């Protein structure tokens, strides 16, 4: 069965309140056993945040990794290095990596292989631009992104997929609940068509794209997703924990968990 996730992607930022203060507040909050919480800080702070969370159920994630395990690759970080610093999962193929750094489906597939070989949980990010959506090519585009990853997941037992429409990231715009549901359906179909059945049946699908405490209820109401990948709102511990509370409250209302 898919798990529920809430992932904080700090990108190239530190919380204004300070990383230690942020982590202390998240750690002190009442845990939600039904939701796996992940914090993905910039590389230099992974070990620091991991040390602060030792003994806590909150996980650490990397924001990206190299396609290689070692070598003369100045500025790169391997998946195994992230694991050794305390990370348990890695974002792969985030839209900013694809659009700003030219990561193709082939590069993303190689990174997924590296993550699987390091025994980390891959968080595969997929999503379309406004042009692709306007042309009505969303399903085909996402199918290609998903199918290209099929042979790169190794024997991973836990896999997460984050649907993040590029046009909704950091723009204040957001996909409507009906739009999300209409897109996640074909995503699951594409996964079932190209991935091993055991991976498809356990896959958790998250939504990412200007997620805030104010829109969490409507986004969660689709019933199509298993959690959220949060950017800007994850830099404030209060807002991030409000999203976690919103997920829990909605689940209680639906009678699907405590």
143 catalytic? Reply is no
94 catalytic? Reply is yes
CA distance 252 to 4: 14
CA distance 154 to 49: 28
Tokens of 131: 């042009």
What is the DSSP secondary-structure string of 65-106? --SSSSSS-TT---HHHHHHTT--EEEES-HHHHHHH---HH
194 C-beta neighbours (distance < 10 Å), count: 16
Give the active site residue among 96, 103, 128, 164.
164
CA distance 61 to 53: 12
Give the active site residue among 94, 96, 103, 143.
94
CA distance 119 to 252: 33
Contact (Cβ atoms closer than 8 angstroms) between residue 49 and residue 99? no
Contact (Cβ atoms closer than 8 angstroms) between residue 224 and residue 205? yes
Q: Which residues contact 10 (CB under 8 A, 6 or more apart)?
A: 39, 40, 41, 42, 63, 234, 235
CA distance 94 to 89: 14
CA distance 189 to 197: 11
Which residues are marked as active site? 94, 164
């Amino acid at each position: 069965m898919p798990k529920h996730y809430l992932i904080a992607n700090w990108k190239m930022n530190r919380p204004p309140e300070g990383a230690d203060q942020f982590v202390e507040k998240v750690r002190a909050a009442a845990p939600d056993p039904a939701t796996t919480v992940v914090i993905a800080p910039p590389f230099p702070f992974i070990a620091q945040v991991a040390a602060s969370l030792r003994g806590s159920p909150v996980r650490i994630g990397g924001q990206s990794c190299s396609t290689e395990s070692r070598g003369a690759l100045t500025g790169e970080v391997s998946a195994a290095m992230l694991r050794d610093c305390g990370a348990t999962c890695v974002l792969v193929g985030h839209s900013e990596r694809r659009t700003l750094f030219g990561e193709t489906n082939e590069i993303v597939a190689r990174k997924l292989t590296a993550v699987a070989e390091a025994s980390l949980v891959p968080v595969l990010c997929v999503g379309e631009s406004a042009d692709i959506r306007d042309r009505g090519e969303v399903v085909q585009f996402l199918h290609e992104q998903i199918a290209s990853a099929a042979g790169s997941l190794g024997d991973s037992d836990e896999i997460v997929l984050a649907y993040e429409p590029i046009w909704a990231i950091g723009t204040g715009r957001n996909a409507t609940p009906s739009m999300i549901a209409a897109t996640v359906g074909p995503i699951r179909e594409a996964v079932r068509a190209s991935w091993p059945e055991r991976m498809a049946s356990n896959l958790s699908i998250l939504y990412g794209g200007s997620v805030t405490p104010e829109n969490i209820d409507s986004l969660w109401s689709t019933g199509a997703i298993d959690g959220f990948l949060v950017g800007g709102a994850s830099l404030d511990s209060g807002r991030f924990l409000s999203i976690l509370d919103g997920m829990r409250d909605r689940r209680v209302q639906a009678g699907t968990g405590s």
